[in-house]
Chains A and B, each alone.
Chain A
């Protein structure tokens, strides 16, 4: 059961590529680490090797499943950006596992970890540049691709807001239309009475505008995050598509690829 698992690493068609080793903390990868490493790999034309090191004291089966699930997210992110991806699960101490992997799969150019991983432990064993992505600073506004990751309490507060503003907006409309004759009489008097329709539309635009804004938020339609991220993803994917047109035999005939 407690066997170290390496998915077709050295035999894969892309094995001649240089690699980024992404080390997750225990059984997971933080969003920041995933984004950073996938984009970096895309730009550098590297391959990603994701490593989960599970301490021997943990329940092997459960941990492995969790590691697989976590790696799946990273795998999908990588495939969206056309970055080749491998996943490795190892048991034991962090430093030893990284060193072992470094020996087996070669061409690991750099290691990316998140701040939950003890980098020193890796540094003691391996002489590969180690980058630590700070994943503790979670920005609630810009931390995700879409803003519809509100937690349920936020959503509840939003619903209350929508209901309140909606009622207020409806009240304004009801007042105007139930007294349409009076309202029209004064609003069309002209002169200084001109302020009446102007003030009314201002009031409506504040109340009804806020209602509309919150309504779209409640429905999960909100502004998307930075354009730049998507553009990078797109460009990288395009670039990789071009790279993939190379004859596949390239990797097999490369006489150095296993050295």
Chain B
């Protein structure tokens, strides 16, 4: 048996252990989730009633901007990287990640980057206030001086993501146990492998975009200024060439999680494994050729509109395949409804609704009415929150017993689910209505006909926000004083190598590769 973890702070600072690093990613992302959530609470509190009550419009814009940036780059992405760190080596029978020192580095550059981003709040002129999409020239010529710090933190985040993805690609390609062929890998590993390729492809594009901004702000170039021969719309093309794959970077690992959990609680193998892999790859491919559907109103020629509309609509096909496969997995299974399964069913229903509104938004002519309205806000929160965050929550409940050897409180878990589910829908469902009725997004105040639904939305947001405290409590209570679990296989229906190691998972696993039964299908 190899040595255990070092003692004290140096364990965390210098660790190269995939489990420690995974744990740090998960806690860090939860801290960011709380921070981003706090920004959201300020937004919803200001929007509780018409009129300006709590904050000034300039500060409101800083809140919407930071909420988006922190949630996307600080909460959702690192949380799935944390999950990948914990699970990928255990799922493919590897002792650790392929590049453990780089793994340490890719985590530890994140906290300073976010500290820097958060510190912009206290700078003269305030934090970035141009939305998480930071369209030029609002984010260049017209931005507060803190934009330079924003650019630097984006660079660092990008660096962290690229290193993390290289590590995942290297691990999956080189460290699989003998007999673990590609088409035997758990779907979570597959979705992450594809996600990692997306990240390596588009993060440099984002870095390019912010570098061009830096040049425009400080070095007299005019990439995004028509006055100097540039084009503000160029920024949007570059940003969304990154930004659209980015939303699949967020959702594909979530698909992977759901594909692990639904079979476990259906006690039945995942239906259509091969088609799930192909559908994921198809979605990843399509994500590169649909970016301008975020830009239907910028004044594209009609041929461009048609191309991006048709390409975007196509995404519905592989996404539909995934949903159908999940439901067929449940069909004639023996279902039980522990907390992880509840969150996955919640995901299935709400993500599908988000998919429907996504299909509606893909239709260019209709998008002329939906674009930049609250309908869009509702749409992407159905995919981001009920998609990514719900599946992440399911993952924590599902693997937590394996990680810490203790069982969470099931009643509290289920209560957390129901309050989240109800709170989420009260928050975001009415936003479809105000959006269709004409309320633009990113406004600190609104006209009177939107008052009722906004108040409802705010109440829902407070409920949803508060329910996350229960989640935090449940996780900590489990780690500190949960009921011990000793079965390797915590859930009777769970399949996969991570359930063959001891519970709690020892500090080092698979120091000698496991034997994979060649006749055994994928997990």
Chains A and B come from one and the same complex: no
What residues of chain B have their CB less than 8 Å away from a CB belonging to chain A? none
What residues of chain A have their CB less than 8 Å away from a CB belonging to chain B? none
